[in-house]
Amino acid sequence: MLVDQIKTEAFRLGFSHCGCARAEPPEELQSFYSGYPEQGKHITLNYLKTNHEKRMDPSRVLPGVKSVITLALNYFPPETIPDEDNFIIAKYAYGSDYHIVVKNRLEQLMAYLKLESGAIQLMSFVDSGPVPEKIWAHRCGLGWQGKNTILINKKSGSFFFLGVLLTDLDLEPDTAGIDYCGDCEKCIRACPTGALDKPYQLDISRCIAFHTIENKSTIPEDVINHLHDRIYGCDICQDVCPFNRFSKSHGFPEFLPSPALINLRKHDWLALTNDQFNAIFANSPVKRIGYQRLMRNIEAAGKKSG
């Protein structure tokens, strides 16, 4: 079967998981769009409104689409950067920009599909475009969207990058993922700012990751009070998730931190120059927030540093 061939090639390219689904409108998003953005919890993420129609119907993105392929690439590190006398960045930002790494592998998979199937339509997305990756990952059987709103796989946790392919190939769908969160609320209790005020819902206005990555304005004082040395991203709700005890380290040199990053300590971060920033984060996702915003985050975290 073609689906089996696709999965074999995906695993050869280094993807940890691969699944397929019918390209049917994700009706489960309707309740989200009927209330969440209107409550203002999306803050400055205006794409949630502007791309509503396309997110609700993949055929508006790729006319003639029949199937969605979702893939996951592991980024759980072999070792974490020391946190003693240090500021903390999210694990996904240890190495090279995942957009480039995952996109490159998706393009190789697309080339394989075209070689096997001839003149077909394909579009790829890596955290970009009007494609709800976590919804498709759930539909494709990669896992479920947990109470922390992150995609969780029962056997391997949640430290994954997601990539999505839309295609006019008619592929046999996988069974959608099953929710195994049960009565567990460790992520909700662990969130220091209360951003997970309700299970399966994220109040972005209180999220550390949002404020240290997306927020271009001033970080609210009540968030600053709970940064716990975090200056780019967070990971707290993932670190406490019981399913991440099954996480296995990745094997990608691109995702390993540089010696320069590993060796930084608080006094180094506080004295970081623009030239050092450009050198250390040249190929990193951190680069996109720029030197000034990173220093804003460092100053904010430093206020409450022990």
The catalytic residues are: 127
Q: Using N-to-C axis directions, what is the helix angle for 2-12 and 98-117, rounded to 10°?
A: 140
Beta strands in 42-199 (DSSP E): 67-74, 88-89, 122-125, 144-145, 151-152, 160-167
Token pair 């608080």 is found at 266
Q: Which long-range contacts (CB under 8 A, 24 or more apart) does 149-154 make?
A: 149/196, 149/200, 149/201, 149/202, 150/237, 150/238, 151/72, 152/180, 152/181, 152/241, 152/243, 153/17, 153/72, 153/177, 153/243, 154/178, 154/180, 154/243
205's tokens: 């206005």
Is residue 272 classed as helix, strand or coil in its secondary structure? coil
Token pair 């994700």 is found at 26
**Rounded CA separation 102/86 (Å):** 29
